[in-house]
């Protein structure tokens, strides 16, 4: 019974978070695809940083700068979707 309770509690918490994370991009499939591509780019940069840490240290800060720019791009996508939703 406790496993079932844990699964149900996890689902009850995760589902609303998933709905909220879609946020203003919901209903804008091209913006959602762009967001997914940015998420993947961020992941691959992180993997590159981890793989090269011993050799190149922190990639001279370029990997981190790329991740910051990806964060800015994600925010611009959100703002674009919000603008479309309100106009």
For residue 31, is it within any domain? yes
What's the domain range around 48?
A: 25-86
For residue 3, is it within any domain? no
User: Distance of CA 69 to CAs 11, 22, 45, 63, 83, Å?
Assistant: 33, 20, 12, 10, 21
Mean pLDDT to the nearest integer, 3-13: 59
For residue 10, is it within any domain? no
> Residue 23 pLDDT > 70, yes or no?
yes
For residue 38, is it within any domain? yes
Nearby residues of 24 by Cβ (< 8 Å), 6 or more positions away: 78, 81, 82, 85
> Residue 19 pLDDT > 50, yes or no?
no
Mean pLDDT to the nearest integer, 7-24: 57
> Residue 1 pLDDT > 70, yes or no?
no
Nearby residues of 75 by Cβ (< 8 Å), 6 or more positions away: none
Domain tally for the chain?
Answer: 1
For residue 9, is it within any domain? no
Task: Provide the 8-state DSSP code for 1.
Answer: -
User: Do the Cβ atoms of 46 and 68 come closer than 8 Å?
Assistant: no
> Residue 5 pLDDT > 90, yes or no?
no
For residue 63, is it within any domain? yes
For residue 4, is it within any domain? no
Percent of the chain with pLDDT over 90: 41
Mean pLDDT to the nearest integer, 23-40: 91
Q: pLDDT by residue (tens digit) across 46-63?
A: 998 888 776 666 667 888
Nearby residues of 22 by Cβ (< 8 Å), 6 or more positions away: 32
């Amino acid at each position: 019974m406790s496993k079932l309770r844990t699964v149900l509690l996890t689902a009850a918490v995760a589902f609303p978070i998933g709905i909220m994370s879609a946020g203003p991009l919901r209903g804008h499939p091209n913006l959602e695809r762009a967001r997914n591509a940015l998420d993947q780019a961020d992941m691959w940069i992180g993997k590159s940083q981890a793989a090269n840490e011993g050799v190149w240290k922190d990639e001279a800060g370029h990997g981190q700068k790329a991740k910051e720019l990806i964060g800015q791009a994600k925010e611009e996508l959100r703002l674009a979707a919000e603008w479309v939703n309100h106009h």
